Chain A
Amino acid sequence: MLRGVKRDTGSGSPAALGPADEAELIARCKANERAAHDELYHRFRRQVAGNLYRVLGDRSELDDLVQEVFVIAFRGLERFRGDARLSTWLYRICVNVALGKIRTRKRRPAAIGVADLDATSADPSLTERPETPDRTLERRQEQERVYKALERLAPKKRIVLYLHEIEGLDLKEIAYLVDSNPVTVRTRLFYARREFYRILAGDAASPVEALTEPADTEVEAEP
Chain B
Amino acid sequence: MSEHVAPHRWADLWAGRVDEAERATMERHADHCRACARVRQRVTRASDSFAAIRTQAPPEVPWDTIRARVHWSVSTERHAALRRRPPAYGWLAAATAAGVAVGLAAHAVAPVALSPTTASPDGAAIARPRPAPPTRLIGLVNRASGDVMLDGVRPDDLFARSLVEGSSLATGDGRVDVQFGSDSAFALGPMSTLHLRHFDAGTIELVVDGTLDVAVAPRTGGQRFLVDAGDQVVEVRGTQFRVVHDAGGTRVACHHGVVTVRDRAGGAVELAAEQRLAVAAGHAVSAERPVALSADEAAAFDRAPPLTLPLWDPAALPRSSAPLEIATAGRRDVRVDGVELGLAPLRVRVMAGRHGVETADSAGWFRRADWVDVTAAPRGARVEVPAEPPRTGGITERRRQLRAGIDQPRLRGCTRSIAKAGLTDTYVQIEISVGPQGAVGFLNVLDTDLPSATAGCVRDVLAGVRFAPGAAATWRERVDL
Measured CB to CB, the residues of A under 8 A from B are 8, 10-11, 32, 34, 37-38, 41, 45-46, 49-50, 52-54, 57, 59, 62-64, 66-67, 70-71, 74-75, 116-117, 119-123, 126, 139, 142-143, 145-146, 149, 154-156, 165-168, 183-184, 187-188, 190-191, 193-194, 196-198, 200-202, 205-208, 210-217
Contacts and interface: CB of A to CB of B under 8 A. Distances in A.
A67 B354 contact: yes
Interface string B45-71: 111111011111111011101110111
Contact of B45 (A11, A142, A210): A142
Contacts of B73: 67, 71
A86 B56 CA distance: 22
B156 interface: no
A59 B65 CA distance: 16
Interface stretch (B33-41, B90-98, B391-399): B33-41
B423 A50 contact: no
A67 B69 contact: yes
Contacts of A142: 45-46, 48-49, 52
B42 interface: yes
Contacts, number: 180
A146 to B, nearest CB: 5
A64 B355 CA distance: 10
Contact of B77 (A75, A154, A165): A75
Q: Tell me whether chain B's interface is mostly helix, strand or loop, or mixed.
A: helix
A118 B61 CA distance: 16
B42 A202 contact: yes
Contact of B56 (A38, A53, A190, A211): A53
B54 A201 contact: no
A74 B74 contact: yes
Nearest to A138: B45
Given A123-B57, A197-B11, A207-B33, 6 more contacts: A38-B67, A75-B338, A123-B55, A156-B447, A165-B11, A212-B9
B159 interface: no
A194 B8 contact: yes
A50 B8 CA distance: 27
B422 interface: yes
Given A49-B58, A142-B48, A191-B451, A66 B66 contact: yes
Contact of B46 (A117, A145, A168, A207): A145
Contacts of A10: 57-58
Contacts of B66: 45, 63, 66-67, 70
B6 A194 contact: yes
Contacts of B67: 38, 41, 45
A56 to B, nearest CB: 11
10 nearest A-B residue pairs (beta carbon): A197-B7, A207-B4, A142-B49, A49-B58, A201-B7, A197-B8, A201-B39, A50-B58, A53-B58, A207-B35
B65 A64 contact: no
B270 interface: no
Q: Tell me whether chain A's interface is mostly helix, strand or loop, or mixed.
A: helix
Contacts of A200: 7, 42-43, 46
Interface in B380-439: 417, 421-423, 425-426
A71 B423 contact: no
B10 interface: yes
Contact of B42 (A53, A165, A201): A201
A212 B6 contact: yes
B70 A122 contact: no
Contacts of B163: none
21 contacts: A34-B71, A41-B70, A50-B58, A54-B58, A59-B59, A142-B49, A143-B49, A168-B54, A188-B449, A193-B11, A196-B8, A197-B6, A205-B35, A205-B38, A205-B39, A207-B33, A207-B35, A210-B3, A210-B6, A211-B417, A216-B9
